[in-house]
Copies of this chain bind each other. A is one copy, B any other.
Amino acid sequence: MTDLQTTDEFIAQASQMLGQRGFTTDTDTMQPWLTDWRGRYSGSALALASPANTDQVSDLVKLCAKHNIAIVPQGGNSGMSGGATPDMTGTSIILSLRRMNAIRQFDADTRSITCDAGVILQHLHEAAEAERLRFPLTLGGKGSATIGGLISTNAGGTQVLRHGTMRAQVMGLEAVLPDGQIFNSLTPLKKDNRGFDLKQLLIGSEGTLGIVTGATLRLLPEIAGRCVLWAGLDSLIDARKLLLACEKMVGERLEGFEVMPAHSLAAVLDHLPAARSPLQSAHNWNALIELVGTEDTIASLPDLAENFLSIALEKGIISDATIAANEAQAEQFWLLRDSISPAERAIGPAMQHDISVPVERMAEFVTETVPEVESRFPGTTAIAFGHLGDGNVHYHVLAPAGAIRGMWEENEGKEISSFVHDLVTQWGGSISAEHGIGQMKVMELGRLGDPASLSILRSVKEALDPQGLFNPGKLVPGTA
C-alpha cells in the first residue's frame, strides 16, 4: 500500500469515526488554526479533527498510530512558542480539543472542579465565581486559552508568586497516551504513593507524551477585596528588598509583585493617551503590589498596606508610593502593567525573552546584563520587567532606531536572543520560564540544555511515543 493510499484510507475512516462536525479536510475551515495567534508560525495539515469526547480522542489516536499519522494537539491556539502549530509538510492532523468544553463536576466541599480540556479559562473563572470560589491562575489570553493547553504548557501568569503555576492547581488528570490508552487520575486522591506521579509527567509536556482530555482543578475561597499599591524605587536591588519586607510583613496576603523600569512606564503612557502615572515624578523603577484579603482579614488590609508603605519609606527602600483609592484605580494600575508589551511593540521591533533566574539573583542579573547587552549590540535598549517574586523576567531588547521590522528580527535579533540565552544559562537560569519550548526554542534547548536532563527528556519521549507521532518537532530536541 502506498503512503497515499494509507492516507486516503485514514481520512475515510476518521471521517466515519468522527462525523462531519468532528473531522474536516476543508482548507477554509482549517485556515485559522494553521497559524499561531501572533502570526509567527504557519503550517499545513492533512485534516482538522475535533472529537466530542475522550473515547473519540482515544479511537482517533489508535487510528493515527495504525496509519502512522502525526498529531498536533491544539487548545485555544494562544500559545507563545508555536507549540500548537503543525509543520509545513501537511502530513499531520490538528487535534482540536475545543469541542470538549463541558464542566463535568463541581464539588464545593473539596473545592474542586472537573472539566473537559477544551474549557476556556475565563469560563472556568466564571463557573468558580458563581459558587463564591475562585480559580487562582489568570493570564492575558484567558478569553481563548483552554485548560488542556494551560496544563500542557504548565502556564504561569501573575498569581504564581502565591499560588504556583498550573502544576499546583492540577489535582487530577485524564489524558490519552500515544498508544490510545486512557490515563485517568481524575478522582483526586490527596495521598497516593503508588510510584512516581504520572500526571506530573504530562503537565508541561506540550502534547509530546499525551493529550490532556480532562482535569480536576483546585479552587480557593473567593477573595473579599484587594489593595493595589504602586511604589517608585531607585533600583531593582531596592525592589528585591521591598519584596522581602513585604513577604515578611503581609505574608500570605501578598498576591502579586510586579516591577517595571522607567522606560516601560513612559512607553505605556505614550501608548495610552488617557493613562496617568500613579506617582507625581518618574522613578528608575516601579513596583506594582497586590494584597488580598478574605472575609476575616479584609478589614485590617488597608491599615496593613499603609503601615507597610510608611515603614518602607522610612527605611529609604522606596522614594514614593500610593494606594489605589478604589477598584477602578486598581484596574488602572494593572492596565499600565499589562500594556507594556503592546506599548513597546508600537515603538519598533523587539526581541522578547521569557526567562528566569534564581529569585535571589534576579536583581543582580538584570543590573549586570542590561549594559552588557546594550554595549554588545549598539543602539539597542534592553528592558526587563515582570514577576520579580518568581525570578521570572520578561527581557526585551528593542531594536536601534531605524531598524526594519521583519528583517531586523531575523538577523541581529536572532543573534541577540542567542546572546541573552547564553547569559541566562551562565547565571543558572531557564530559557523558558513560562511560555514553554514549542518549536520556537527547541533548537536553543538542544544547544544549551543540561545533558542529563536532555537525555531523560529524550528517553521518556521515546519510551512513551516510540512512533514519534505526538507533536513532533516540539519540546524534545532532535525528534523532528
Task: List chain A positions with a Cβ less than 8 A from chain B.
Answer: 107, 109-110, 153-154, 156, 160, 165, 167, 177, 179, 181-185, 187-198, 200-206, 209, 221, 244, 251-252, 294, 296, 356-360, 387, 389-392, 428-437, 445, 449-453, 455-457, 459-460, 462-464, 475-476
Contacts of A462 in B (CB 8 A): 463
Per CB-CB distance, the 10 closest pairs between chain A and chain B, nearest first, are A463-B463, A200-B200, A459-B463, A181-B452, A192-B430, A191-B433, A196-B205, A183-B452, A190-B390, A191-B392
Question: A359-B110, A459-B463 in contact; A206/B201 too (CB < 8 A)?
Answer: no
Provide the bound-state CA to CA distance between A195 and B435, in Å. Answer: 10
| Cβ distance A353 to chain B, nearest Cβ, rounded Å | 13
Question: A189-B356, A459-B464 in contact; A196/B209 too (CB < 8 A)?
Answer: yes
Q: Is the CB of A193 within 8 A of B154?
A: yes
Q: Is the CB of A432 within 8 A of B182?
A: no
Instruction: Pick the contact of A201: B177, B189, B196, B389 (CB < 8 A).
Output: B196
Residue of B nearest to A199 (CB): B200
Task: Identify which of A191, A204, A356, A358 gathers the most chain B CB atoms within 10 Å of its CB.
Answer: A191
Provide the bound-state CA to CA distance between A182 and B450, in Å. Answer: 10
Question: A360-B110, A437-B195 in contact; A456/B189 too (CB < 8 A)?
Answer: no
Instruction: Pick the contact of A204: B153, B177, B195, B203 (CB < 8 A).
Output: B195
Q: Is the CB of B434 within 8 A of A475?
A: no
Question: A192-B356, A252-B252 in contact; A200/B202 too (CB < 8 A)?
Answer: no
| Cβ distance A156 to chain B, nearest Cβ, rounded Å | 6
Q: Is the CB of B192 within 8 A of A433?
A: yes
| Cβ distance A459 to chain B, nearest Cβ, rounded Å | 4
Q: Is the CB of B194 within 8 A of A431?
A: yes
Question: A194-B431, A436-B193 in contact; A244/B184 too (CB < 8 A)?
Answer: no
| Cβ distance A65 to chain B, nearest Cβ, rounded Å | 14
Q: Is the CB of A432 within 8 A of B357?
A: no
Instruction: Pick the contact of A196: B156, B193, B203, B435 (CB < 8 A).
Output: B203
Q: Is the CB of A191 within 8 A of B177?
A: no
Provide the bound-state CA to CA distance between A434 and B296, in Å. Answer: 34
Q: List 16 A-B contacts (CB under 8 A).
A: A107-B360, A109-B360, A177-B456, A179-B455, A181-B452, A182-B452, A183-B452, A193-B434, A195-B445, A195-B457, A195-B476, A196-B209, A196-B460, A198-B453, A252-B252, A463-B463
Question: A452-B182, A452-B183 in contact; A193/B391 too (CB < 8 A)?
Answer: no
Residue of B nearest to A361 (CB): B187
| Cβ distance A109 to chain B, nearest Cβ, rounded Å | 6
Contacts of A202 in B (CB 8 A): 196
Q: Is the CB of A204 within 8 A of B198?
A: no
| Cβ distance A21 to chain B, nearest Cβ, rounded Å | 28
Provide the bound-state CA to CA distance between A195 and B460, in Å. Answer: 11
Residue of B nearest to A155 (CB): B193
Question: A183-B453, A187-B358, A188-B358 in contact; A193/B476 too (CB < 8 A)?
Answer: no
Residue of B nearest to A221 (CB): B251
Q: Is the CB of A190 within 8 A of B251?
A: no
Contacts of A252 in B (CB 8 A): 252
Contacts of A450 in B (CB 8 A): 183-184
| Cβ distance A263 to chain B, nearest Cβ, rounded Å | 23
Provide the bound-state CA to CA distance between A165 and B109, in Å. Answer: 21
Q: Is the CB of A183 within 8 A of B456?
A: yes
Q: Is the CB of B445 within 8 A of A194?
A: yes
Residue of B nearest to A435 (CB): B193
Contacts of A476 in B (CB 8 A): 195
Question: A189-B356, A201-B456, A358-B189 in contact; A432/B194 too (CB < 8 A)?
Answer: yes
Q: Is the CB of A356 within 8 A of B191?
A: yes
Provide the bound-state CA to CA distance between A434 and B192, in Å. Answer: 6
Q: Is the CB of B197 within 8 A of A203?
A: yes
Residue of B nearest to A444 (CB): B194
Instruction: Pick the contact of A184: B194, B387, B452 (CB < 8 A).
Output: B452
